[in-house]
Amino acid sequence: MVRVTTEYVGTVRRIGRLFILLPLSLAVFGGGIYLAIIDQSYRDSDGFLMITFAASVAAILLSLANVMRRHRWRVEPDGLRVREGPRVPLTGLRRHRFIRWQDISGLQTSGYGGLRELHVSTRDGQRFSMAQRQVSDPGSRFLRDDPEAPLEALEQAIREHIAGTGAALATTGVALSFLETRRGLLVIAVLFLLSVALAGATLWMLASGQNPARTTRSNHEALALLLLGPLLTSWLFVKKYRSRQQVLRQAASRTPTAERTP
What is the domain-level CATH number for residue 169? 2.30.29
Whether pLDDT at 261 is above 50: no
Query: Which is it for the CA torsion 95, 98, 102, 106, positive or negative?
Result: positive
Length of the chain: 262
Phi, psi of 135 (to 5 degrees): -130, 160
Q: What is the pLDDT of residues 213-233, one digit of tens each?
A: 454 444 455 556 567 778 888
Coil, strand or helix: which one is 81?
strand
Helices (H), the chain: 15-33, 45-67, 151-164, 182-207, 217-253
Q: Is residue 223 part of a domain?
A: yes
Q: What would the mean pLDDT of 70-93 be, rounded to a whole number?
A: 91
**Domain count of the chain?**
3
Which of 142-146, 147-151, 216-220 comes out lowest in average pLDDT? 216-220
Q: Give 183's pLDDT tier (boundaries 50, 70, 90).
A: confident
Q: Is 88 left (phi over 0), alpha (psi -120 to 50) or beta?
A: beta
Contact 31, 51 (CB under 8 A): no
Give me the pLDDT at residue 96, please. Answer: 95
> The domain containing residue 95 runs over which residues?
7-12+70-174
Beta strands at 68-76 and 7-13: parallel, antiparallel or unpaired: antiparallel
What span, in angstroms and rounded, lies between the C-alpha atoms of 212 and 28?
A: 27
Give me the pLDDT at residue 38, please. Answer: 59
CB atoms within 10 A of CB 250: 12
93 and 131 belong to one structural domain: yes
Contact 179, 187 (CB under 8 A): yes
Which of 5-14, 139-148, 224-233 comes out lowest in average pLDDT? 224-233
Highest mean pLDDT among 4-8, 55-59, 222-226: 55-59
What span, in angstroms and rounded, lies between the C-alpha atoms of 175 and 110?
A: 5
Indicate the average pLDDT of the chain.
80
| Domain end among 139, 174, 209 | 174
34 and 74 belong to one structural domain: no
Q: What would the mean pLDDT of 50-66 be, rounded to a whole number?
A: 80
60 and 119 belong to one structural domain: no
| Domain end among 154, 174, 194 | 174
Q: Is residue 261 part of a domain?
A: no
pTM of the complete model: 0.70
Q: Is residue 194 part of a domain?
A: yes
Q: Is residue 85 part of a domain?
A: yes
Q: What would the mean pLDDT of 63-79 be, rounded to a whole number?
A: 89
Give me the pLDDT at residue 213, please. Answer: 47
